[in-house]
């Protein structure tokens, strides 16, 4: 018992460590997970999932895969696919069967597998797993269209590929005389109908119960998780692996329904999915034996090469003719098709089933699948970002700033940031507030940034920071609270945040960080702008360092941020370090001439006040 607990702890720690190192080193997380699984399994023998976990090993992996696919379905909003729907539909309807047929042919004639094993393997390799695509897309920073294309294909194709494998296996059973044709057709029709209809019905039932208040808020996420497992298990009782399609449909229906608490539940599911992807991938990689690796020969290598360089490109390029996708998007999709957890899990299941009915080389199917998984993860993981850059399908790599709240002050700030070549967008729901920004050719968003459509139109991942500059402190706090989980709590800022010790202050769990070290209100900033204050961008050099810069600043100058040579943006209110050489400092202050004039005016006023006070004193002394 203690040994199993230790191994589960190692899997958990190794999985999250791999995710953290991938984030820190800007590497594909799935590659590090693959290395961790190989070290834990074949390399050291520390982990042998089939022996360590016994009979619960397969069900445990299957349930984890179902939850992963459900969470993927929750990300599939129909508004997002409006521009790529034709391409996605053709990839699923045409490229999938083409890949199945060509992969089966290549597995038999090139890989040397028997026809039963080759047919099932071809079906399995239709999948392009979301467990691999999601981490890659998170790091590659693709434009919205190609990212949507790859994500939709990966999530929808996973259950489709698994069901293709089911159909292939049932056909083989009919061929060898273990099943009847009419039973096969009836089973497939009922299974597909139940999978799609059951997923839709389960989602609608959840929407009804949540909207009507039949489930308390604190139980919604647990109820959703339990429902996914129950629906998956129920569908699988009718047709093996049909439950994967059920939970995917269920997630898609929920994603396109109007549930107020769906965002919180999606974040909970994302956390669970990150843990499951990390753990399951390590466990599945660790299940690979050295004998499986040794069974791979030059014919397996040729099969993998044919799959990557011939079968996938031909299937995608043919299926997407006149689909509305650009040639760059088609070329990217033709190359990027990494396989992941679902392919490995399904190949392990059907490898065992084929062996039970007397197919001698069924065990080689797992080794072939792993060869494809490892090759695609490494090649596609390291080439996605460079290829996207070459095809000009990548977002601007420089960190950007989303400014919420249109005004003369925020427009001036956006204009200066644009001058500094920082990607910027100004958002407001009042068209008149954006007039000056539009005249200055500053990108704008007209509408409510808290709406669902704004999250699809703006794409928060394009921006690394947010500044809420509205005249309402509560609204600024609401915007920062909403975007905080998306951008990171340390990357959302607002103006006018009052002292947290004051009675009327918002809770520290709400809102963003103060844009300035000493909070300044919207009215104060507007007044300063009317007095002639401007935004100033100054570069530090060896001769003009930080100390010299501070000494040169007018009294009361507000230092907002500085931009490092790499493009990284550092906000002054939260930075523990000072700017360095070649950093460009953005401040808000009076111009030097105006500052001198104001200082002289203050000195004159002070002298006048002193003289008046002295005169009053002298007059008082002269009174009798």
pLDDT, tens only, 70-107: 877 777 766 666 656 788 888 888 898 999 999 999 99
Same domain, 369 and 420: no
Specify whether 557 is located in the same domain as 449.
Answer: yes
Q: What share of the chain is helix, strand, coil (3-state, %, to 5)?
A: 65, 5, 30
Mean pLDDT of the chain: 82
Which residue would you say has higher pLDDT here, 273 or 81?
Answer: 273
User: Residue 257, SS3?
Assistant: coil
Q: Is residue 613 part of a domain?
A: no
Query: What is the model's pLDDT at position 614?
Result: 57
Q: Tell me the CATH number at 449.
A: 3.40.50.720
pLDDT digits (tens, 9 = 90+) for 21-51: 887 887 777 778 888 988 888 888 888 887 8
Nearest in space to 156 (alpha carbons), one of 185, 133, 187: 133
Give me Rg for the CA atoms of the chain.
Answer: 30
Q: Give yes or no: residues 576 and 483 share one domain.
A: yes
As a whole number of angstroms, the distance between CA 149 and CA 88 comes to 6
Q: How confident is the model at residue 503 (pLDDT cuts 50, 70, 90)?
A: very low
Q: Please indicate, yes or no, if residue 547 is contained in any of the structural domains.
A: yes
State whether 467 and 543 are in the same domain: yes
- Across the range 113-124, mean pLDDT stands at 90
Please give the Cα distance from 251 to 259 (Å, whole number). 13
Kindly state the average pLDDT of the residues 213-232: 88
Residue found by looking up tokens 């010299």 in the block = 548
Cα–chain-centroid distance for residue 111? 36
Domain that holds residue 152: 2-174+273-390
Q: Are strands 558-563 and 584-589 parallel, antiparallel or unpaired?
A: antiparallel
Is 218 part of any domain? no
User: In the chain, how many domains are there?
Assistant: 2
Query: Does residue 327 belong to any structural domain of this protein?
Result: yes
CA distance 145 to 151: 10
Q: Token pair for residue 541? A: 């050099």
- Report whether pLDDT(186) > 80: no
Q: What number is the average pLDDT over the span 347-374?
A: 83
Q: Which of 390, 417, 439 is the last residue of a domain?
A: 390
Has residue 233 been placed in a domain? no
- 542 and 410 in a common domain: yes
Look up the CATH number of the domain holding residue 9: 1.20.1530.20
Residue 226 lies in a domain: no
Query: What's residue 623's pLDDT?
Result: 46
Q: Would you say 333 and 320 are in contact if contact means Cβ atoms under 8 Å apart?
A: yes
pLDDT at site 542: 86
Q: Examine the fold and report which residue of 366, 390, 414 is the final residue of a domain before the chain moves on.
A: 390
Q: Which of 390, 416, 437 is the last residue of a domain?
A: 390
Examine residue 604 and state whether it is found in any structural domain, yes or no: no
Q: Do 302 and 259 touch, CB atoms closer than 8 A?
A: no
489 in the same domain as 577? yes
Compute the distance between CA of residue 520 and CA of residue 589 in angstroms, rounded to an integer: 13
Instruction: Report yes or no on 614 lying in a domain.
Output: no
Average pLDDT over residues 109-114: 92
Statement to judge: residues 424 and 367 lie in one domain: no
Q: Cβ contacts of residue 557 below 8 Å, gap of 6+?
A: 587, 588, 589, 590
| 438, 505: one domain | yes
Task: Measure the CA–CA gap between 304 and 128, rounded to whole angstroms.
Answer: 15
Rounded to two decimals, the pTM is: 0.69
State whether 35 and 104 are in the same domain.
Answer: yes
Q: Please determine, for residue 526, whether its predicted confidence score (pLDDT) is greater than 80.
A: yes
Distance CA 552, CA 348 (A): 70
């Amino acid at each position: 018992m203690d040994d199993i607990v230790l191994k589960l702890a190692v899997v958990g720690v190794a999985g999250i460590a791999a995710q953290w190192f991938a984030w820190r080193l800007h590497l594909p997380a799935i590659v590090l997970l693959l290395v961790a699984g190989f070290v834990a399994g074949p390399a050291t023998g520390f982990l042998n999932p089939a022996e360590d976990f016994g009979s619960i090993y397969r069900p445990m992996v299957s349930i984890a895969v179902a939850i992963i696919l459900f969470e993927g379905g929750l990300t599939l909003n129909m508004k997002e696919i409006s521009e790529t729907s034709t391409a996605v539909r053709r990839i699923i309807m045409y490229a999938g069967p083409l890949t199945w047929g060509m992969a089966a042919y290549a597995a038999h004639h090139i890989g040397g597998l028997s026809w039963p094993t080759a047919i099932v393997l071809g079906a399995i390799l239709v999948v392009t797993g979301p467990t691999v695509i999601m981490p890659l897309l998170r790091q590659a920073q693709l434009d919205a269209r190609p990212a949507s294309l790859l994500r939709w294909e990966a999530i929808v194709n996973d259950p489709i590929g698994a069901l293709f494998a089911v159909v292939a296996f049932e056909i083989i059973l009919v061929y060898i005389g273990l099943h009847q044709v009419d039973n096969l057709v009836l089973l497939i029709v009922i299974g597909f109908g139940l999978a799609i209809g059951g997923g839709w019905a389960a989602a609608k039932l959840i929407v009804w119960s949540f909207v009507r208040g039949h489930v308390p808020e604190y139980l919604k996420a647990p109820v959703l998780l339990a429902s996914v497992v129950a629906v998956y298990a129920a569908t699988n009782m009718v047709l093996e692996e049909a439950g994967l399609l059920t939970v995917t449909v269920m997630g898609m229906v929920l994603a396109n329904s109007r549930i107020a608490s769906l965002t919180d539940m999606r974040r909970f599911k994302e956390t669970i999915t990150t843990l499951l992807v990390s753990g399951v991938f390590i466990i599945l990689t660790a299940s690979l034996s050295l004998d499986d690796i040794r069974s791979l020969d030059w014919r397996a290598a040729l099969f993998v090469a044919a799959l990557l360089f011939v079968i996938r490109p031909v299937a995608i390029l043919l299926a997407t003719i006149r689909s509305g996708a650009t040639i760059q998007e088609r070329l990217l999709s033709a190359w990027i098709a990494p396989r992941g957890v679902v392919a490995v899990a399904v190949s392990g299941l059907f490898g065992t089933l084929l062996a039970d009915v007397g197919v001698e080389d069924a065990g080689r199917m797992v080794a072939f699948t792993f060869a494809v998984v490892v090759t695609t993860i490494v090649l596609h993981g390291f080439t996605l970002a460079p290829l996207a850059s070459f095809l000009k399908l990548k977002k601007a790599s420089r960190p950007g700033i989303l400014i919420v709240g249109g005004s003369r002050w925020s427009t001036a700030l956006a204009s200066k940031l644009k001058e500094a070549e920082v990607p910027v967008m100004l958002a407001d729901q009042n068209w008149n507030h954006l007039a000056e920004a539009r005249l200055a050719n500053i990108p704008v968003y007209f509408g409510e940034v808290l709406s669902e459509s704004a999250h699809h139109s703006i794409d928060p991942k394009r921006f690394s920071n947010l500044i809420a500059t509205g005249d309402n402190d509560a609204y600024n706090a609401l915007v920062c609270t909403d975007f905080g989980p998306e951008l990171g709590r340390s990357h959302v800022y607002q103006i006018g945040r009052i002292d947290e010790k004051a009675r009327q202050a918002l809770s520290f769990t709400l809102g963003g960080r103060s844009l300035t070290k000493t909070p300044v209100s919207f009215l104060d900033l507007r007044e300063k702008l009317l007095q002639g204050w401007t935004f100033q961008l100054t570069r530090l050099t060896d001769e003009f360092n930080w100390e010299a810069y501070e000494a040169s600043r007018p009294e009361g100058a507000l230092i907002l941020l500085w931009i490092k040579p790499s493009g990284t943006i550092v906000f002054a209110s939260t930075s523990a370090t000072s700017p360095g050489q070649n950093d460009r400092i953005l401040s808000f202050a009076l111009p030097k001439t105006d500052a001198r004039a104001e200082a002289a005016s203050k000195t004159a006023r002070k002298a006048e006040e002193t003289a008046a006070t002295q005169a009053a004193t002298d007059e008082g002394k002269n009174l009798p």
